[in-house]
Structure 1
Amino acid sequence: MKQKEKRVRGRPKGSKNKNKTEVILTSELLRIQLIFVRPRFDVYRDISTSIHAIFKRYTDLVEGVALDEVYLDVSENRQNITYASTIARHIKTAIFQETQLTATAGVSINKFLAKMGSGQNKPNGLTVILPEDAIAQ
């Protein structure tokens, strides 16, 4: 998704929330000019739907957690790809080619470890946590 308004390019961005006053005070202290823009949830939802369609090319087992977070079970995938890390790479590439957005992926044997992996190597990373690396010591 490309920014539609030139006036916000290259400038810090913020969003309205309960800490709006704090954000404005901080920006004044740092001499940063902030421009508040309205969220475009319809655009976010449309892009999320497009990305979910990419997931469906690989598996029907897609569990949405938020507009920008999902868990996929690719144990038995439509592409007959052996390795989950290869599927994650394919999905990341498709997301970028079709939306110009990057994605970070975590691959492991369960949701918890996959989530831990997705928190590493941001942005646009891919982390695999193998079962032997997950054993508590």
Structure 2
Amino acid sequence: MDRKAVSMWKVTKNLILTDVCVIALFWLIPSVKMPALLLGVLCAIGYMLWLGRYFLNDCKANLPVEDYQRIAAEFGFIWFWNPGRREQWQYVAEESGETGAALLRIWRGNMVLVIVSLAVMAVLVWMG
């Protein structure tokens, strides 16, 4: 699991570097404000999808087949269409034992960073 957790943190590192570059472009070169912000938002969305891919790969590698299939079946549906079923998906991940709960915690921490990144972009747009 350590190797896979590192892969999710690499995505987070890339997200932070992208944010730093976007903020630097925003402040240093005023003529590229909007393209830089658009790039930042698109990168954050891309990183969110990339994290989802790593999370599912981690679950596949570290959880029993039945648990992985339940999580994979619920994953896209819950996060993209029906957030109200998130608790059911969380229960499945945590029911898988310590590994499932650890993967869920790592993924959640990374998703918080993606949300913070999008919030930073929104503040930069507001400051305009």
TM-score by length of 1: 0.29
User: Is the radius of gyration larger for structure 1 or structure 2?
Assistant: 1
Q: Compare the two structures and name the one with the higher strand fraction.
A: 1
Q: Compare the two structures and name the one with the higher helix fraction.
A: 2
Q: Bigger relative contact order, structure 1 or 2, given CA contacts below 8 A and separation 6+? A: 2
TM-score by length of 2: 0.30
